[in-house]
Chain A
Amino acid sequence: MNELARQKDVTLLELLDRILDKGVVLTGDVLISIADVDLIYLGLNLILTSVEKMHEYQGWEP
């Protein structure tokens, strides 16, 4: 696979910042669209915080 296409170094933040927040929003014919992104960010905020905590706890393990 092409090097460029596999940008593993692209952070999740950069991805979410665009793919979830930007791009064309189609309505009408669409079966599902994720309209309320702020809600997702809110959820993410909590998730990221808890992931961070989890890592902290793991850091204490021998």
Chain B
Amino acid sequence: MPDFVKVPLEEEFAWYLYGIVLCGENDRDIDTDLTGISAEPGVRIIVSGSLGAVVSRVPLSQFGAAVLEEKLQDLRWLEEKVRLHQELLQQIMQERTIVPMKFGTIFQSQERVRDILEKQQEHFQALLKFLTGHEEWGVKGYYRREELHEYLSSGECSSKLGQGGTGLGKAYLLRKKLEEELESRAVDYSRQIGEEAYGWLRVHSVRSTLNKFLSRNVTGREEELFFNGAFLVAKGSHGAFRHTVEKLNGEFGAQGIFLEVSGPWPPYSFVGE
């Protein structure tokens, strides 16, 4: 008799890890009726020590390394999965503080997940204690090109254009040059506003960070993104935080500049190194 037997089930499935939560020392693994990334119920919390790992079983036919790489290029598939991932975290968040994993963190077996919990017990416990009672809020700042240009030029360029005078070509070139000049001023000006807004918003947060700028290709929006911040806010300070955003919008709205808030998010931006 061979002393090993291939178990086909183990080869076809893996365990997708969403995040880590605090549990009681004596808790057993919990089977929930929540829906995971496969769009079917079966989310469980694997408990080890004082930590729980929120996981669900996924077929390797969809989440195997090679397949996944290909699937990631399929925006429809990606959107569905990212939404399912987020919706689950959103539900967990209502009852527990969670340390969110990056999308696509997949383990071969539940034992491997347990290993991680054991090895990183202290790290995750400390992180979870720090995060408890806090939420992440995202703030993106945009400007509407034309409105901001108009505000920045406030009349000065229309007279210049008038002098452009004789030829159509000359007027076109002049307009183009003015346009470029204004946009460069708009970039500088909006950066300044971004710094100012960041300063005001930080007051109401315990941690804050600036995230990367995204081009209009990625944002898919008409407006230009000039600010992309994330803030870890105590639940009690949320009102003051929102109030500050509204105040800033009131102040700069007429210039074509506005801030958009999203959240509450699991603390994605505050669990890194």
**Residues in A lying within 8 Å of B, measured CB to CB:** 2, 4-7, 10, 12-26, 29-34, 40-41, 43-45, 47-49, 51-52
Contact = CB atoms under 8 A, between A and B. Distances in A.
Nearest to A35: B102
Contacts of A47: 73, 75
Contacts of A23: 100-103, 105, 268, 271
A24 B87 contact: no
Contact of B86 (A19, A21, A25, A52): A19
A4 B138 CA distance: 16
Given A29-B107, A31-B106, A49-B217, 8 more contacts: A5-B90, A7-B86, A19-B268, A20-B82, A23-B268, A24-B105, A31-B108, A45-B217
Nearest to A33: B105
Nearest to B68: A32
Contact of A29 (B65, B75, B115): B115
B7 to A, nearest CB: 16
Interface in B69-92: 72-73, 75, 78-79, 82-83, 85-87, 90-91
Given A19-B82, A19-B268, A48-B220, A34 B103 contact: yes
B83 A15 contact: yes
A35 B174 CA distance: 47
A32 B14 contact: yes
Mostly, the B contact residues are mixed
A62 B7 CA distance: 56
28 contacts: A4-B90, A4-B94, A6-B87, A13-B214, A14-B262, A15-B79, A15-B86, A16-B82, A19-B100, A19-B268, A22-B102, A22-B271, A24-B20, A24-B101, A24-B272, A25-B272, A29-B113, A30-B112, A31-B14, A31-B106, A32-B63, A32-B65, A34-B102, A40-B72, A41-B218, A43-B72, A48-B220, A51-B75
Contacts of B64: 32
A3 to B, nearest CB: 10
A33 B102 contact: yes
Q: Report the 9 A-B pairs with minimum CB-CB distance, sorted nearest first.
A: A22-B268, A23-B102, A34-B104, A18-B268, A32-B106, A19-B103, A31-B108, A5-B90, A23-B100
A18 B83 CA distance: 12
Contacts of B90: 4-5, 7
Contacts of A4: 90, 94
A47 B72 CA distance: 11
Interface of B: 14, 17, 20, 63-65, 68, 72-73, 75, 78-79, 82-83, 85-87, 90-91, 94, 99-108, 112-113, 115-116, 138, 211-212, 214-215, 217-220, 228, 262, 265, 268-269, 271-272
B198 to A, nearest CB: 17
Contacts of B78: 16
A5 to B, nearest CB: 5
A19 to B, nearest CB: 4
A52 B64 CA distance: 30
